[in-house]
A and B are shown apart, each in its own frame.
Chain A
Amino acid sequence: MRAAKVIPGFGLTFGFTITWLSLIVLIPLSAVFIRSAGLGLDAFIAVGLSPRALAAYRLSFGASLAAALVNAVFGLLVAWILVRYDFPGKRIVNALVDLPFALPTAVAGIALTALYAGNGWIGQLLEPYGIKIAYTPFGVVIALIFIGLPFVVRSVEPVLADLGHDVEEAAASLGAGRWQTFQRVIFPAILPALLTGFALAFARGVGEYGSVIFIAGNMPFVSEIAPLLIITQLEQYDYAGATAIATVMLIASFLLLLFINALQVWSRRRMAS
């Protein structure tokens, strides 16, 4: 006999979930693998792990990590301000945070390029010191920071809001200074959410295309991101080559996200809630 459950419909909803996930995520992804498998191992390595592709992976993953790290720090700061303080124009700031979500990425890319190019508003200030941002890997990082910011802010914000004042007051009443309170009480409490935001920002950065290609300059081995390399292959009608690069990216992304997830599980278990 089957035991009655309080929450019914597991079979139905689970079936739907799997079907939906398969249609939307798994089948397209397996198509990538099948397509690239037709290439044969040698050709796969030759394209997927060519020096040019490796340089592109390094840039894509490196810049995404760097941008996600920067976002983790400053996104936390923005979330902190939005949660803890009331100030005039708070709603506007709040809405501004979401703008990178909504803005067509190409628009962001063009705007950033105009700003940071050698003759742009910011670029011309830095040019005399020999600092170039547009058309360098640094420009890629800037674009990815722009794209990733809301992920961190919106992940951390609710958790920070949920964290009661009394916990901080308790720490203070026990003699802890402000830094100790942050470091030992607040930060560990928001770390899982911060990691989530970091992972989302990172994942978005790896897959980002539109905003990056304008500011990157796309020089092979220097400022060419992996998604662009895929497009380049496609434009040469080399579909198998494109899927080979995509496969490598997929595997690498999957492993990195798995690692970040494990980190989250670990830190969440310490919260034991």
Chain B
Amino acid sequence: MSIRLENIHKRFGAFTALGDISLEARPGEFLALLGPSGSGKTTLLRIMAGLEFPDNGRVCFDGEDVTGLTVAERNVGFVFQHYALFRHMTVAENIAFGLNVRPRRQRPSRAMIAARVQELLDLVQLGSLGQRYPAQLSGGQRQRVALARALAVDPKLLLLDEPFGALDARVRKDLRRWLRELHDRVGLTSIFVTHDQEEALELADRVVVMDHGVIEQVATPLHVYNEPASAFVFDFVGESNRIPVQVRGGKLFYLGQPLDVPTIGADGPSELFFRPHDAAIVKDDAGAIPALVVQVRPKGAGVRVEGKLIGIDRPFEIDVALDEAPEPGRIIALKPGHPRIFPVSREIDG
């Protein structure tokens, strides 16, 4: 099923949670809503589910306006961050809940419900745990029960609110891969909320980056990472170095000195962004950025060099090969690769 949001506005008192959001998810797509806390991503998800209602705008499922429908009428599967399992019910009873509460005419027979529950238990790889209570399960298992429960009612859309937020790192990684496989198998349009860029980039077909109640960029993970649409997106989807610069007549100046970096963009105060793994240490310090090395630590195949930029006293971090590792205390010349330049408009969080 496709879902379309048109000009969604939502305010909580004086606080604007969402300002004019329009968004579309294609059938079978796996979409990530990525943003820091307070960016409005969860509110947006809850509006799609019908747990929250927009002040303005429309929500359409397959072109049909569902803005006024409640969550019970929309037939969406919703997975909560803290699982929201019914503690007094067994795992099997939890999964069967959505079928058991149907009006008698639409309710499947007891045997059919039992068969469906077993099918879902197998799907989420909890085949033999149907008679356990939620308290007897691990966090990852509980989240899978929550997922099976949401899938039991054959939803048209699956919405997940920080589905891995409460899990530890290892379980999170396993469950992430498993969820991607499950999505590919079931083929349900799915949208999940996360503040973890790694999760969004690894899992989603497209990533919606949000900040302060507006969408900053909607694109594939590769596109978002390599061609961020704004300073905020660059900073949020990966590690970054930020350097204040001036653009004058198509040239870049750092502390009054010209930088040997290709420039497009309007004149004025700007910020230069580059990723740690895109920087190089150069011998010739003309057109490069002088920096003091403070610490060198192993990272992957190479090393991570951390220190301070000379003159502006700002930290930097770059990744270089092991044989290029400088001594701590040395002054080096940095040359950013794949830089992005954004004009200074508003302050970025973090």
Collect the chain B residues with CB atoms within 8 Å of residue A180's CB. Answer: 101
Q: Mark B125-150, 1 if CB is under 8 A from A, else 0.
A: 00000000111100000000010011
Q: Which residue of A lies closest to B134 (CB)?
A: A272
Q: How far is the CA of A175 from the CA of B71 in the complex (A)?
A: 8
Is B225 part of the contact surface with A, judged by Cβ < 8 Å?
no
In the A-B complex, the 9 residue pairs with the smallest Cβ-Cβ separation, listed nearest first, are A272-B133, A174-B98, A166-B84, A170-B84, A173-B78, A176-B101, A188-B88, A166-B80, A273-B135
Residues of A124-177 at the interface with B, using a CB-CB cut-off of 8 Å, are: 164, 166-167, 169-177
Is B316 part of the contact surface with A, judged by Cβ < 8 Å?
no
For the complex formed, measure the closest distance between the CB of B70 and the CB atoms of chain A, giving whole angstroms.
Answer: 7
- CB-contact partner of A173 in B72, B82, B87, under 8 A: B72
Collect the chain A residues with CB atoms within 8 Å of residue B135's CB. Answer: 271-273
B78 touches A169 (CB 8 A): yes
A171 touches B97 (CB 8 A): yes
- CB-contact partner of A271 in B49, B87, B150, under 8 A: B87
Is A189 part of the contact surface with B, judged by Cβ < 8 Å?
yes
Residues of B41-83 at the interface with A, using a CB-CB cut-off of 8 Å, are: 49, 51, 70-72, 75-78, 80-82
User: Do A177 and B82 form a contact, CB below 8 Å, given A171-B97, A270-B88?
Assistant: no
For the complex formed, measure the closest distance between the CB of B208 and the CB atoms of chain A, giving whole angstroms.
Answer: 21
Q: A170-B85, A174-B97, A272-B134 are in contact. List 18 more A-B contacts (CB 8 A).
A: A164-B82, A167-B85, A169-B71, A169-B78, A169-B84, A170-B80, A171-B97, A171-B101, A172-B70, A173-B51, A173-B150, A174-B152, A175-B153, A176-B97, A177-B72, A180-B101, A271-B135, A273-B87
Is B254 part of the contact surface with A, judged by Cβ < 8 Å?
no
Is B253 part of the contact surface with A, judged by Cβ < 8 Å?
no
Q: Which residue of A lies closest to B132 (CB)?
A: A272
Q: How far is the CA of A184 from the CA of B89 in the complex (A)?
A: 9
A174, A177, A188: most-surrounded residue (chain B CB, <10 A): A174
Is A185 part of the contact surface with B, judged by Cβ < 8 Å?
yes
Q: Which residue of A lies closest to B70 (CB)?
A: A172
For the complex formed, measure the closest distance between the CB of A209 and the CB atoms of chain B, giving whole angstroms.
Answer: 38
Q: How large is the interface on A (under 10, 10 to 19, 20 to 34, 35 or more residues)?
A: 20 to 34
Q: How far is the CA of A164 from the CA of B71 in the complex (A)?
A: 17
Residues of A181-201 at the interface with B, using a CB-CB cut-off of 8 Å, are: 184-185, 188-189
Q: Mark B145-187, 1 if CB is under 8 A from A, else 0.
A: 0100110110000000000000000000000000000000000
B86 touches A167 (CB 8 A): yes
A175 touches B72 (CB 8 A): yes
Collect the chain A residues with CB atoms within 8 Å of residue B150's CB. Answer: 173-174
A189 touches B87 (CB 8 A): yes
User: Do A174 and B153 form a contact, CB below 8 Å, given A184-B97, A189-B88, A270-B88?
Assistant: yes
Q: How far is the CA of A166 from the CA of B146 in the complex (A)?
A: 12
User: Do A175 and B102 form a contact, CB below 8 Å, given A185-B86, A272-B87, A272-B133?
Assistant: yes
- CB-contact partner of B78 in A170, A177, A184, under 8 A: A170
B149 touches A164 (CB 8 A): no
A170, A173, A177, A184: most-surrounded residue (chain B CB, <10 A): A173
Collect the chain B residues with CB atoms within 8 Å of residue A167's CB. Answer: 84-86
User: Do A174 and B87 form a contact, CB below 8 Å, given A169-B71, A184-B101, A273-B135?
Assistant: no
Q: Which residue of B lies closest to A181 (CB)?
A: B101
